[in-house]
Amino acid sequence: MCARTSFAGQASELFNGTTVRRGEVKLIPHDVGIRTGAVEILRDGTFRLQSGPVTNDDQSCFIFNEIYIEGGVRAPLGSIDVTNNRTIINTDDFYWRSPSAGDVRSLLASGLRSGKGIVSTFSDLEFGIGYATMARLNESGIFCGADSIVLKLSRIGDANLDGTVNAADVSVVRAAFGQHDTDWLSGDFDYTGTIDTVDFNVVAARIASPHVERIGAPVPEPTCTTALGLGAMILFRRRRSVA
Ligand SMILES: [Ca+2]
Ligand SMILES: [Ca+2]
């Protein structure tokens, strides 16, 4: 269990117990504030957060304490659409259906692959969902622990989150190359947890041209010689199945 941090405010809205059976349920906040809750999403359902200004503070965000998606984290049949909201997935096992970090990564990977899982309708060839723990982002003071996962719409390839993709990001990926159980801040742009040639090519291709193919598409002449490949995915510890 991760350490719980202090509260900075009161939740302004709860969405506990929301079940999306099919179609779309849109969470429309009534005011600026923190929303916490749990969702259950069945086949072909989408739980969509109303898009809003992207914020980087703890005064306005969505926090998921529990997530259940039919099909499980590796083959989800429903979706959470975070649009452009700063969203936090609470991994604290204080909650019954809180996902592990590996579960969150699997849901992001599935979203990238199939459009089911954790997705953003604001994602395109330039922007994707960045992810890292609150601790890694030096964030605290909200309703969950330091190991909770923060999701932010980020420029693909921008590992250091400074808004641009350049040689500094290449350096980040190069330094983390071969590491497992990593995050976006280390250059894991395809949610495998491992930093490999796929991630390197993502950032290298975007320096060469901002209008490149989707993540995972082949790019010419990769410059990394160490190939771990997607098959080297780490087996993440699953505290519990959310299937
Ligand atoms: Ca950058
Ligand atoms: Ca990766």
> Where do the structural domains in the chain lie, given as residue ranges?
1-155, 159-238
Ligand approaching nearest to the C-alpha of 170: 1
Strand order in the sheet with 79-81: 23-27, 45-49, 79-81, 117-119
At 2 the pLDDT is: 37
pTM: 0.81
Calpha distance 76→215 (Å, rounded)? 20
Question: Rounded to a whole number, what is the largest CA-CA distance in the chain?
Answer: 52
Ligand approaching nearest to the C-alpha of 183: 2
At 213 the pLDDT is: 61
Calpha distance 11→104 (Å, rounded)? 23
- Residue 155, SS3 per DSSP: strand
Using CB atoms within 10 Å of the CB of residue 103, give its burial: 0 to 12 exposed, 13 to 18 middle, 19+ buried. buried
At 45 the pLDDT is: 92
At 33 the pLDDT is: 73
- Cα atoms in the 13 Å half-sphere on the side-chain side of 76: 31
Distance from Cα 109 to the centre of ligand 2, integer Å: 10
Calpha distance 132→75 (Å, rounded)? 22
At 96 the pLDDT is: 82
Q: Of the candidates 146, 132, 102, which has an alpha carbon nearest to the alpha carbon of residue 237?
A: 102
At 225 the pLDDT is: 29
In contact, 77 and 50? CB cutoff 8 Å: no
Distance from Cα 140 to the centre of ligand 1, integer Å: 23
Distance from Cα 161 to the centre of ligand 1, integer Å: 5
At 140 the pLDDT is: 75
Distance from Cα 170 to the centre of ligand 1, integer Å: 9
At 220 the pLDDT is: 43
Calpha distance 166→207 (Å, rounded)? 6
At 61 the pLDDT is: 79
At 215 the pLDDT is: 63
Residue segments in the chain with a per-residue pLDDT below the cut of 70: 1-14, 17, 30-32, 53-59, 141-142, 210-243
Distance from Cα 168 to the centre of ligand 1, integer Å: 6
Ligand approaching nearest to the C-alpha of 229: 2
Q: Tokens in use for 214?
A: 């989707």
Ligand approaching nearest to the C-alpha of 173: 2
Residues with CB under 5 A from ligand 2 (ion): 188, 190, 192, 199
Distance from Cα 11 to the centre of ligand 2, integer Å: 34
Distance from Cα 169 to the centre of ligand 2, integer Å: 14
Q: Tokens in use for 211?
A: 């209008």
Ligand approaching nearest to the C-alpha of 154: 1
